[in-house]
Copies of this chain bind each other. A is one copy, B any other.
Amino acid sequence: MTEAFSAYSSLTAYMNAIGVRAKGAARAMASAPGSKKNEALKLAAASIRDRSDQILDINANELAVAKEKNVTDAFLDRMMLNGDRIEGIANTLEDVAALDDPVGKVISKWTRPNGLEIERVRTPIGVMAVIYESRPNVTVDAAAIAVKGGNAVILRGGSECIETNKALFGCFSGALVKAGLSENAVQFVETPDRDAVGALLSGIDGNVDLVIPRGGKSLVARVQSDARVPVLSHLDGICHVYVDRDTDPRKAVDIVVNSKMRRTGVCGAAETLLIDAAIANEIWPAIAQALRDKGCEIRGDANIRKLDASVAAASEEDWRTEYLAPILSVAVVDGVTGAIGHIANYSSGHTESIVTENFVTAETFINGVDSAIVLHNASTQFADGGEFGLGAEIGIATGRLHARGPVGVEELTTYKNVVRGTGQIRP
């Protein structure tokens, strides 16, 4: 059984023990049958539903304490659970259980002239450490994604809802044991000591294979700068919508408004609108009206301000800003080439969308824009693992290696090369 923090002489001893247990659990999990992994996920869902009253009480207490600390409303909203959210968490577990097991899947396969048969086979990554802030659902999402992919995970959540996280973790942990899997496949760092994060970033003597930060910019930046092991993360979501000359105006208005205003605090929310100069004059009034009706503040370049004197001026800084708020910067560009150029200069490589009925132009945009997600005639707010059908996600990766875009179960696996011969030796 996982021993409590109090059983250890020091933080170092505690973290080292967590690392060693995780590595051992990862070995066992790598060959765990899909049926047991799915059983654990379903039992965890049932257990969270069973104990929902208790979890909500714990969460309400932590919310009350956090309120006294003058945290923001957005912060409180992120850490808050209610009946619907508990049900959402349980549903995610069942969705992940319903996914195909990625472990053992053959990715590619070929035969060499000497008869060697080569296969690339999906395998777990090993031990991942997830470092997150105040969202209790991450506890369960990360555990579910890790277990489904045959990995072990070490969870380190924000101190403000540590008791809520521990309650959710307890449900998951019990489910692993009931399903006959290693309890240590999911471990939770139960001390708020910040040095625990440092230990995870060091890799705990080679026992951590991957670190995933999930939270605000300062957390991600610290992880990226200090980690001695690979990191999968996203820093910024400066997402663009480009409205092309050949657009259907109704689609343009709907997609712009939805991309910006559906939820302004998510990383897939649009922050900059680019409008083709050939259509700006014509389409601006409808777009502006629809945005203003939803309470969106607009900051425009000189061309937009010529069309609409009521628009405030966007500064150079605006093009580089992830507002995460009902504010939109707007620039007029010279067709799809201009849009691609603006995006190359200012995008954070997260998500961009083109609205056009011209399929040639759409393909130019798709090929010319180098972001993790590129959409044609769809809202940037589809940048989400659930919307991609991944069951759950641990974030949107904006790096260039290993995985780009939504990171779910399959993205948190790797592969090995299996070579089958009949006695071949190399000349």
User: Which residues of A are interface residues toward B (Cβ below 8 A)?
Assistant: 27, 30-31, 104, 110, 112, 116, 118, 123, 125-126, 209-210, 225, 228, 230, 232, 248, 250-251, 254-255, 257-259, 262, 344, 362, 366-368, 370-379, 381-382, 384, 387-389, 399-402, 404-406, 414-426
Contact = CB atoms under 8 A, between A and B. Distances in A.
Given A402-B402, A424-B379, A426-B258, A372 B419 contact: no
Given A126-B400, A400-B414, A423 B254 contact: yes
Given A381-B426, A423-B377, A416 B262 contact: no
Nearest to A268: B426
A401 B227 CA distance: 15
A379 to B, nearest CB: 5
B374 A419 contact: yes
Contact of A417 (B228, B372, B401, B421): B372
Contacts of A388: 112, 118, 417
B377 A422 contact: yes
Residue from the set A30, A210, A251, A416 with the largest chain B CB neighbour count within 10 Å: A416
A424 B382 contact: yes
A258 B425 contact: yes
Contacts of A374: 416-419
Residue from the set A31, A230, A388, A401 with the largest chain B CB neighbour count within 10 Å: A401
A408 to B, nearest CB: 12
A58 to B, nearest CB: 31
Nearest to A406: B417
Nearest to A209: B400
Nearest 6 CB-CB pairs, A to B? A378-B421, A258-B425, A251-B423, A402-B402, A405-B417, A381-B426
A366 B250 CA distance: 56
State the copy count for this chain.
Answer: 2
12 contacts: A27-B344, A116-B382, A209-B400, A210-B400, A250-B423, A362-B420, A372-B416, A375-B419, A377-B423, A378-B423, A381-B425, A400-B414
A94 to B, nearest CB: 17
A426 B379 contact: yes
B417 A373 contact: yes
A373 B419 contact: yes
Contacts of A422: 377
A31 to B, nearest CB: 6
Contacts of A373: 416-417, 419
A379 B262 contact: no
A166 to B, nearest CB: 29
Contacts of A387: 112, 116, 426
Nearest to A30: B370
Contacts of A399: 230
A230 B406 CA distance: 19
Contacts of A423: 248, 250-251, 254-255, 377-378
Contact of A425 (B27, B225, B255): B255
A379 B414 contact: no
Nearest to A125: B400
A377 B117 CA distance: 11
Contact of A230 (B27, B118, B230, B426): B230
Nearest to A107: B107
Given A112-B389, A400-B125, A400-B210, A254 B419 contact: no
A112 B384 CA distance: 13
Nearest to A419: B375
